[in-house]
Amino acid sequence: RTVAVVGLGYIGLPTAAILATNGLEVIGVDVNPSTVTAINMGDVPFVEPDLGVHVAGAVSQGRLRAQLETPAADAYIVAVPTPFKADKSADMSYIAAAARAIAPMLSGGELVILESTSPPGSTRQLAELILGLRPDLSLDGHDGKPKLLVAHCPERVLPGRIMIELVTNDRVVGGLTSEAAEAAAALYSVFCQGEIHLTDAATAEMSKLVENAYRDVNIAFANELSVISANLDIDVWELIRLANHHPRVNILQPGPGVGGHCIAVDPWFIVAADPENSALIRTAREVNDGKPGYIVEQVRKAVRDVSRPIIACLGLAFKANIDDVRESPAVEIVRRVAEQHPDAEILVAAPHKDHLPQELAVMANILLVETDKAIEAAQVVVLLVDHDKFREIDRASLSGKRIIDTRGFWRDSE
Ligand code: SAJ
**Domain 2-209, CATH among 3.40.50.300, 3.90.79.10, 3.40.50.720, 3.40.50.460:** 3.40.50.720
Ligand 1 center from residue 95 Cα (angstroms): 25
Residue 330 beta carbon below 6 angstroms from any ligand 1 atom: no
Q: Is the CB of 100 under 6 A from ligand 1?
A: no
Choose, from 208, 291, 313, 319, the residue flagged as catalytic: 208
Give me ligand 1 centre to Cα 329, in Å: 13
Residue 260 CA to ligand 1 centre (angstroms): 7
pLDDT value for 413 = 44
Are the beta carbons of 55 and 64 closer than 8 angstroms? yes
Q: Give yes or no for residue 215 CB within 6 A of ligand 1.
A: yes
Residue nearest to atom 1 of ligand 1 (CA): 258
d(CA 79, CA 83): 12
Q: What is the mean pLDDT of each run of 10 residues along the chain (414 residues)?
A: 95 97 98 97 88 97 98 98 87 97 98 95 98 98 97 91 96 98 98 98 97 97 98 97 98 97 93 96 98 98 96 95 90 98 97 93 97 98 96 95 96 57
Do 258 and 326 touch, CB atoms closer than 8 A?
Answer: no
pLDDT number for residue 185: 98
Decide: 5 and 19 in contact? Cβ < 8 Å: yes
Minimum CA distance residue for ligand 1 atom 25:
158
HSE-up of 93 (CA within 13 Å, CB side)? Answer: 4
Pocket lining: 82 vs ligand 1, CB cutoff 6 Å = no
Ligand 1 centroid to Cα of residue 139, in Å, is: 36
Which is the closest atom of ligand 1 to the Cα of 257?
Answer: 7
Nearest CA to ligand 1 atom 38: 262
What is the CA(208)–ligand 1 centre distance, in A? Answer: 13
The CB of 263 under 6 Å from ligand 1? The reply is: yes
| 125 CB within 6 A, ligand 1 | no
154 Cβ closer than 6 Å to some ligand 1 atom: no
Calculate how far, in angstroms, residue 150's C-alpha sits from the geometric centre of ligand 1.
29
Ligand 1 centroid to Cα of residue 405, in Å, is 20
Residue nearest to atom 27 of ligand 1 (CA): 158
Task: Give the active site residue among 153, 262, 291, 319.
Answer: 262
Residue 318, ligand 1, Cβ within 6 A: yes
Q: How far apart are CA 307 and CA 382, in angstroms?
A: 18
Residue 147 annotated to the active site: no
This prediction's pTM = 0.90
Q: Which atom of ligand 1 is nearest to the CA of 386?
A: 11
Q: Distance (Å, rounded) from C-alpha 229 to C-alpha 237?
A: 9
Q: Is 208 a catalytic residue?
A: yes
Regarding the beta carbon of 262 and ligand 1, being less than 6 Å apart is answered yes
| Ligand 1 close to Cβ of residue 174 (< 6 A) | no
Best mutation site among 10, 158, 266, 325 for ligand 1 pocket (most ligand atoms within 8 Å of CB): 158
Which part of the chain is CATH 3.40.50.720?
2-209, 255-413
Which CATH superfamily includes the segment(s) 255-413? Answer: NAD(P)-binding Rossmann-like Domain (3.40.50.720)
pLDDT on residue 126: 98
